[in-house]
């Protein structure tokens, strides 16, 4: 097996708040290979976006990151200086930020925002950077690409802004792209176009993709591997086929039960629900964080659940097969 392009081991993020310390991410581990798609899945507030910001070293000042290993292509990001990380971020590591309607700076033209990082990292002139920007805008399916460079974000639709965010992430030819819910707030037709575009670009360019989403329909279409997050930790991970055909953790099973299945879910039939709410992550969390919502909960769940494995499939639960 070749060395993963991204390795994350025992990543935790604490955020200072007025009410105490928020344990936003707890002991998260995963890896991504070249050309592979890993999907981070879970409810809003489970720590997916904070995990991505921690990888890119873009956490807010109130946050503290702890990690055993955070390596990109063999480079230890956790122990490298700011200069080394800045040289990689936006160059070989890129991110498509959540919400295209606000991710672009309204005070600068599309051209300025597309070319800034390329000129800095590649030491390129304005003409070369503009040519690269036009090429990528055309590649992501934007017509009259040259004219778009002089426009401002407010002059573009949500779908066009999302395509521009993808082009911006690809400007320097990255080896890794982290996409934080890139289809949120887009209609179903545009969502499908964006997903096809990401899949095509990944196959063509051999990019490692970390896709953050709460939409299991998206995961089923694009993922090679899946990591399911709940209350700041990964409760189950494995190949997409394993997760969808044989989910082991009760939370993963609950997510699957919420999905209507063509040919199996009858019109008007009630879908599954997960009762209760996500526990507060302020202060310490004892035992399994899902136990108050779990149909299989037992007194032993008040203790830290073991991590069980079967091949590449791993889950945190007392049950062998939930």
pLDDT tens digits, residue range 90-135?
A: 999 999 988 777 889 999 999 999 999 999 999 999 999 999 999 9
Can you tell me the mean pLDDT for 140-149? 92
pLDDT for 134: 97
Instruction: Give the H or E element holding residue 205.
Output: helix 188-205
pLDDT for 158: 84
For 103-125, the DSSP string reads HS-TTS-HHHHHHHHHHHHH---
Report the distance separating Cα 125 and Cα 115, nearest Å. Answer: 10
The domain spans of the chain are 1-92+205-265+280-322
Report the distance separating Cα 259 and Cα 88, nearest Å. Answer: 38
Residue 321 pLDDT class (50, 70, 90 cuts): low
Residue 159 pLDDT class (50, 70, 90 cuts): confident
Q: What are the residues whose beta carbons fall under 8 Å from the beta carbon of 61, sequence distance 6 or more? A: none
Residue 89 pLDDT class (50, 70, 90 cuts): very high
Planar angle of CA 23, 224, 165, nearest 5 degrees: 70
Can you tell me the mean pLDDT for 211-222? 87
**Overall fold of domain 1-92+205-265+280-322:** Rossmann fold (3.40.50)
Residue 153 has a CB neighbour count (10 Å cut-off) of 20
pLDDT reading at 251 higher than 70: yes
pLDDT reading at 1 higher than 50: no
Q: Mapping DSSP to helix (H, G, I), strand (E, B) and coil, where does residue 13 land?
A: strand
Residue 185 pLDDT class (50, 70, 90 cuts): low
pLDDT reading at 309 higher than 60: yes
pTM value is: 0.91
Can you tell me the mean pLDDT for 203-230? 91
Residue 151 pLDDT class (50, 70, 90 cuts): very high
Q: Which of 77-91, 140-154, 253-267, 284-298 has the lowest average pLDDT?
A: 253-267
pLDDT for 2: 63
> What average pLDDT is seen over the chain?
91
pLDDT for 198: 84
Identify the burial level of 168 via C-beta atoms within 10 angstroms of its C-beta, where 0-12 means exposed, 13-18 middle and 19 or more buried. Answer: buried
Torsion of Cα atoms, 180 then 184 then 190 then 193, to 10°: 30
């Amino acid at each position: 097996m070749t060395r993963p392009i991204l390795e994350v081991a025992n990543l935790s993020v604490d955020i200072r708040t007025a009410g105490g310390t928020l344990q936003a991410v707890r002991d998260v581990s995963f890896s991504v290979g070249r050309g592979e798609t890993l999907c981070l899945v879970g409810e809003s507030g489970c720590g997916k976006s904070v995990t991505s910001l921690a990888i890119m070293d873009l956490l807010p000042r109130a946050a503290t990151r702890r990690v055993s290993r955070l390596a990109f292509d063999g480079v230890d990001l956790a122990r490298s200086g700011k200069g080394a990380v800045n040289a990689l971020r936006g160059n070989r590591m890129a991110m498509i930020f959540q919400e295209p309607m606000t991710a672009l700076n309204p005070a600068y033209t599309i051209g300025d925002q597309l070319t800034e990082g390329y000129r800095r990292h590649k030491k390129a002139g304005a003409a070369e950077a503009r040519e690269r920007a036009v090429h990528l805008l055309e590649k992501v399916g934007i017509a009259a690409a040259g004219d778009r460079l002089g426009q401002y974000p407010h002059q573009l639709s949500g779908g066009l802004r999302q395509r521009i965010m993808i082009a911006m992430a690809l400007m320097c030819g990255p080896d890794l792209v982290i996409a934080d819910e890139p289809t949120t707030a887009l209609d179903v037709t545009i969502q499908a176009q964006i997903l096809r575009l990401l899949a095509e670009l990944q196959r063509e360019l051999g990019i490692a993709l970390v896709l953050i989403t709460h939409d299991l329909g998206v995961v089923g279409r694009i993922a090679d591997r899946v990591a399911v997050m709940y209350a700041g930790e990964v409760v189950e991970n494995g190949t997409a086929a394993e997760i969808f055909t044989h989910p082991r953790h009760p939370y993963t099973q609950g997510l699957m039960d919420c999905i209507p299945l063509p040919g199996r879910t009858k019109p008007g039939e009630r879908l599954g629900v997960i009762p209760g709410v996500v526990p507060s992550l302020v202060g310490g969390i004892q035992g399994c964080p899902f136990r108050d919502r779990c149909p299989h909960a037992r007194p032993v769940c008040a203790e830290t659940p073991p991590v069980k494995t079967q091949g590449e499939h791993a889950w945190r639960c007392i049950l062998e097969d939930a």
